[in-house]
Amino acid sequence: MNNAGDVFTATMLLMMALVVFIILLLLAQAFLGICVYNRAKSKAMANALAWAFAVAGTGLIGLVAFYIASGKTVASQVCAACKLDVPLEWAACPRCNQPMPDYRALPSTGAYAKRSTKFLIGFIASMATGILVFLVGYIGYIIIMMNQMYH
Ligand SMILES: [Zn+2]
């Protein structure tokens, strides 16, 4: 007669799965924030930190807003002499050699983009692991509970 023990085990399993799930969800949120911060930096956006917190705090809504905003932030400048669209990291126009006043030294843009991708993978991995742990715990809970119903 260990029905009570089984129910306890099943409940503990479910609770533990839930706790791990929540921890991994928080971790995923942090990863997403860092990912957004680095993505914003790689696009030379001024308010990278604000975007990081906005997306980590609101999730999908913030992500959609960030996606739209980052799309609008075209990292380029227009040459005053020949109207050529020149990337921000160019100090002079490649066509007419006109100096570019909006020139911004962005030596680590590529590094930011790479870091952003790494944290995006971290976000997806921790989300997937969290959901998997929760599912395993939940299925285990159901199996134990159904098992003890027939005993
Ligand atoms: Zn030019």
CA of 78 to the centre of ligand 1 (A): 8
Check whether 43 has a pLDDT greater than 90: no
Report CA(75)–ligand 1 centroid distance (Å). 16
- Distance (angstroms) between ligand 1 centre and the Cα of 77 equals 10
Which tokens belong to 103?
């020139």
pLDDT in tens, 64-81: 999 888 876 656 788 989
* Residue 69 CA, ligand 1 centroid: distance in Å: 27
Question: What are the pLDDT digits (tens) for 95-135?
Answer: 999 988 877 765 556 788 889 999 999 999 999 999 999 99
The 3-class secondary structure across the chain, one letter per residue, is CCHHHHHHHHHHHHHHHHHHHHHHHHHHHHHHHHHHHHHHHHCCCCCHHHHHHHHHHHCHHHHHHHHHHHHHCCCEEECCCCCCEEECCCCECCCCCCECCCCCCCCCHHHHHHHHHHHHHHHHHHHHHHHHHHHHHHHHHHHHHHHHHCC
State in Å: Cα 104 to ligand 1 middle.
17
Q: Please tell me the distance between residue 44's alpha carbon and the centre of ligand 1 in angstroms.
A: 22
Predicted pLDDT at 73? 61
* Residue 94 reports pLDDT greater than 70: yes
Flag whether pLDDT at 14 surpasses 70.
yes
The whole-model pTM stands at 0.71
Going by pLDDT thresholds of 50, 70 and 90, the confidence category of residue 1 is very low
Mean pLDDT of all residues belonging to the chain: 88
The percent of residues in the chain predicted with pLDDT above 70, rounded, is: 91
Ligand 1 center to 113 CA (angstroms): 28
CA of 99 to the centre of ligand 1 (A): 8
